[in-house]
Amino acid sequence: METLKKVVTNEYFPAAAVLSGVILFWVLGLFGGLSLLSSRQTPVTTLTWLLFVYAVAVLSPLAGLVAAIDLVRRWLRNRKARAAELA
């Protein structure tokens, strides 16, 4: 339980979780994300699914980019702080 608490309270966790979610979304999309279109659904269900996927496809690269920038920024800041402590 302590390990889980350390992971969740880590400063890198939110950005890493967002970046993992974005990567998972795109990997699942590459391996058959449009399978809903091959089954018989009502037009409203299909349209809702397509709009949802379109919104996520448009917004996920932006979220991934912001998360990656945040991770790098935090890593560089912590690296500079450690270097200052050693000096």
- 28-58 pLDDT tens trace: 888 776 666 677 888 898 889 889 888 988 9
* Total of domains in the chain: 1
Distance separating alpha carbons of residues 73 and 86, to the nearest angstrom: 20
Question: Would the pLDDT of 65 be above 80?
Answer: yes
What residue numbers bound the domain in which 39 lies?
A: 2-86
Distance separating alpha carbons of residues 57 and 62, to the nearest angstrom: 9
pLDDT band at 69 (very low <50, low <70, confident <90, very high): very high
Distance separating alpha carbons of residues 63 and 2, to the nearest angstrom: 29
- pLDDT tens for 1-36 read 888 888 778 888 889 999 999 999 888 888 776 666
- Share the mean pLDDT of the chain: 86
Q: Take residue 33 and report the two structure tokens written for it.
A: 């994300």
